[in-house]
Structure 1
Amino acid sequence: MSTKTKTETILVVMNVIAWITFIGLMIEAGAILVTYGIGLANPEMVPKLYKGMDWVNLRQYDVWYYSGIISLKAAILILEAYTAYMVIKVLSTIKMTNPFTMQVAKKLENIAYTLVLVWVAILIYNGQLKWLAKDVADLDGKMLSTELIIYAGLVFVISQIFKKGVEIQTENELTV
């Protein structure tokens, strides 16, 4: 099995994993929004809904804060799903005959910016939860955000490497 075939196989597997991630995140975001809608219509159902997200105390404390937290959580999941979708686009764009294209570099850069946006949204979400926990009992659901800024930096560096690869590739084509 040649190196090229192994690389192409890895890209196909990564594409499948990205699709699974995208679909899973969209289902989770949809489930949270449906749970939110049912919870507004029938508050008694809130503790029995999505993954045991028992935010009855928050809903009883203030519907607007409850709506804000649910909206932030759904927005984070949708942004993560969008990131997975952008990864799918990158993986379907990369061609092993000419991997360094400005299109791929730009998509990678956009992924990095989206990851930073997700990180900021998670920081806001966690801050809001911490602030609300002072007044609302049994409020949990903190999301981890530390790894996202590292991933964003890594993807940004890779996008810059791709841009440099495009420059070198263009230079070589002009020289020949």
Structure 2
Amino acid sequence: MKTKQIFSIMNGFSWIVFIGYCIKAGAITLVSIISLFKNKNATENLYMGIDLASIYEFSIFHFVLTTLILILIASLKAYLFYLLIIIFKRIDLHKPFQIDVTHLVFKISYVALTIGILGAVAKPYTIWLRTNVFFTQLDIGTSAYIFMAGVVFIVATLFKRAVEIKQENDLTI
């Protein structure tokens, strides 16, 4: 397969994942609002089997905090894939080392680090909450994001250096 075809396929997958995380964040937000103001039974199936009814009964504050964490993580993951979609749109395979692409790759590393840190902070909170309230374990799924942030940051730094070298060569006669 040619590189362009692989980029097109990856772009398509990025769109699918982006839309999926947008739907997840929107569904959790909508059902949380409905459960707070209209029907508390909606907490039993917040999104794809997530049951937070026992947390809602324990404390509305902890319910809101838990749903905010879930919404924020899903939104950040969607934003990460949105940045990836922008990279696919802007990158030119003949001249890949561009400053705007470098800035986007750095942004991806920062967003991935934020997701990883938020997940690392949320995990002990959900463990503490589980000791006080019985509920199905929440799979936040952010443990790999800190490592990914480091790898992407290294790639971004290499991209930045390549852009600097390219700019120096463009200035040389």
TM-score band w.r.t. shorter chain: over 0.9
Residue 38 (str. 1) matches residue 3 (str. 2)? no
- Aligned-pair distance for 1:36? 0.9
Matches within 5 A, 1:1-176: 6-40=2-36, 41-176=38-173
1:5-35 C-alpha deviation (Å, 9 max, x unpaired)? x111111111111111111100011111122
Gaps of 5+ in 1: none
CA distance in 1, matches of 2:42, 2:144: 34
Query: More deviation in 139-148 or 112-121?
Result: 139-148
Q: Name structure 2 gaps, 5 residues minimum.
A: none
How far the C-alpha of 1:135 sits from its partner, in A, is: 0.9
Aligned-residue Cα RMSD (Å) equals 1.5
Q: Which amino acid aligns with 1:166?
A: V
Q: Using the TM superposition, give the Cα deviation of residue 104 of structure 1 relative to its aligned residue in structure 2, in angstroms.
A: 0.7
Superposition deviation, residue 127 in structure 1:
1.9
8 Å CA contact 1:73, 1:125 repeated in 2:
no
One-letter code aligned to 2:22: M
Give me the whole-angstrom Cα distance separating, in 1, the residues matched to 2:134 and 2:151: 38
Helix, strand or coil: the match of 1:134?
helix
Distance in 2 of aligned mates of 1:30 and 1:144: 18
Letter of the structure 2 residue corresponding to residue 59 of structure 1: Y
TM-score, structure 2 normalization: 0.93
Identity of aligned residues (%): 30
Alpha-carbon shift at residue 149 of structure 1 (Å): 1.1
2:126 alignment partner AA:
L
SS at match of 2:48: helix
8 Å contact kept, 1:105–1:162: yes
Q: Return the TM-score normalized by structure 1.
A: 0.91
Deviation at 1:50, TM superposition (A): 2.2
Report deviation, 1:155: 0.8
Alpha-carbon spacing, 1:173–1:45, altered in 2? closer, same or farther (3 Å): closer
Aligned pair count reads 172
Letter in 1 for 2:73: I
Give yes or no for contact 1:22–1:82 (8 Å, CA) kept in 2: yes
Matched residue of 1:52: which SS?
coil
